Amino acid sequence: MAYFLLIESSTSVCSVALAKDGELVDLQESSEGQNHAKLLAEFVNEVLKRQNITSDQLSAVAISEGPGSYTGLRIGVSLAKGICYANQIPLIPVSPLQSMCEQVIVRQAELGIESLENTLLIPMMDARRMEVYTASYDSGNHLIKPVSAEIIDEQSFLADLEKQKVLFFGNGADKCKDVIKHANAAFVSDIHTSAQFMCKLAWKAFQKEQFADLAYFEPFYLKDFIAGKPKKNMLNI
C-alpha cells in the first residue's frame, strides 16, 4: 500500500490531493487566485489530518512540473522537495498538460464527448495575449508532440486539423475559439488543472521508478522569467 501526496500549483488553481495506490482518497483545492504561498502548506496539512496520515507514511510526493506560473511552480516544487527530503521519499514530476488530458479522458461522458477515437488532444495553458503553453496527446494520453509555447493564429494546428478531429481545452483554449475555425476543431470548457487527475499518472511513474533527482530538479518553466519593470524608482536611479 502506497500513499502519495500530489501537489498542483502551475496555474491560479491551488490543489492538493492524497492518493492510495493510484486512487484518489482526498482533495483540497481553491481557484481563488495566486494564494499558493498562503494555502499550499495549509492544504497539505488539512488533507493529511483528515485521513489520519502523517508525512512519514507517504511513499512519494508528485508535483506538477510545469509549464505554468513561475511563482506557483516555484512554491509547489519547494514544498514538495522539502517533504521528500524530510521523509527520504521520491519526487515524481507530472505534466499539468498531461493531467488535463487525463481529466478529459476520465470525464468523457460527463463532458458530452461521444468518442475520443482518432482524436488529437491539445491542452492549452494561458500564457497571456494570444500565446499558450501546449502539447499534443493521443486518446490514450501518450505524448505526440512535445511541450511548446505557441502564438495562436488562423494557421495554428492546421496540419493536424486537416488529418483528424482535434480537441482543445484548458484555460488557454477559450481565447482560441474565435481564431481556430476549422471543421475538425472542437472545444471543451470546464477543464482546469487539479491534483486529483495526477493520481494515475503518478502511480504509473512510481511503478516504473521514474523519479526526479531531488538535488537538481527544477520546475519546467519553458520560458525564462522576466520581472516587471517597477512603476516607481524609489532610489531615483
Judge contact between 56 and 25, C-beta under 8 A.
no
In this prediction the pTM is 0.92
Question: Are residues 91 and 48 located together in one domain of the fold?
Answer: yes
Residue 234: its pLDDT value, please? 37
Question: Are residues 106 and 133 located together in one domain of the fold?
Answer: yes
Q: What percent of the chain has pLDDT over 90?
A: 88
Question: Are residues 73 and 110 located together in one domain of the fold?
Answer: no
Could you give the angle at the alpha carbon of 102 between the alpha carbons of 199 and 26, nearest 5°?
30
Whether 235 maps to a domain, the answer reads no
Whether 230 maps to a domain, the answer reads no
What domain range is 117 assigned to?
A: 97-188
Question: Are residues 174 and 156 located together in one domain of the fold?
Answer: yes
Q: What percent of the chain has pLDDT over 70?
A: 94
**DSSP symbols for 50-105:** HTT--GGGEEEEEEE--SS-HHHHHHHHHHHHHHHHHHT--EEEE-HHHHHHHHHH
Q: What is the CATH number for 155?
A: 3.30.420.40
Question: Are residues 130 and 62 located together in one domain of the fold?
Answer: no
Residue 224: its pLDDT value, please? 59
Question: What mean pLDDT is predicted for residues 76-96?
Answer: 98
Question: What mean pLDDT is predicted for residues 55-81?
Answer: 97
pLDDT in tens, 183-226: 999 999 999 999 999 999 999 999 999 999 999 999 999 875 44
Whether 114 maps to a domain, the answer reads yes
Residue 236: its pLDDT value, please? 43
- pLDDT at position 231 over 50: no
pLDDT in tens, 95-136: 999 999 999 999 999 999 999 999 999 999 999 889 999 999
Q: What is the mean pLDDT of the chain?
A: 93
Question: Are residues 89 and 102 located together in one domain of the fold?
Answer: no
Total domains present in the chain = 2
Whether 214 maps to a domain, the answer reads no
Residue 32: its pLDDT value, please? 82
Whether 226 maps to a domain, the answer reads no
Question: Are residues 46 and 161 located together in one domain of the fold?
Answer: no
DSSP tag of 164: S
Q: How confident is the model at residue 232 (pLDDT cuts 50, 70, 90)?
A: very low
Q: How far apart are CA 104 and CA 121, in angstroms?
A: 9
Q: How far apart are CA 91 and CA 209, in angstroms?
A: 10
Question: Are residues 29 and 80 located together in one domain of the fold?
Answer: yes
Cis status of the peptide bond prior to 96, with omega within 30 of 0 = no
Q: Is 98 exposed, middle or buried (0-12, 13-18, 19+ CB in 10 A)?
A: buried
Question: Are residues 181 and 138 located together in one domain of the fold?
Answer: yes
pLDDT in tens, 142-173: 999 999 999 999 999 999 999 999 999 999 99
Q: How far apart are CA 80 and CA 156, in angstroms?
A: 36
Question: Are residues 32 and 82 located together in one domain of the fold?
Answer: yes
Question: Are residues 197 and 81 located together in one domain of the fold?
Answer: yes
Q: How far apart are CA 104 and CA 195, in angstroms?
A: 14
Judge contact between 9 and 70, C-beta under 8 A.
no
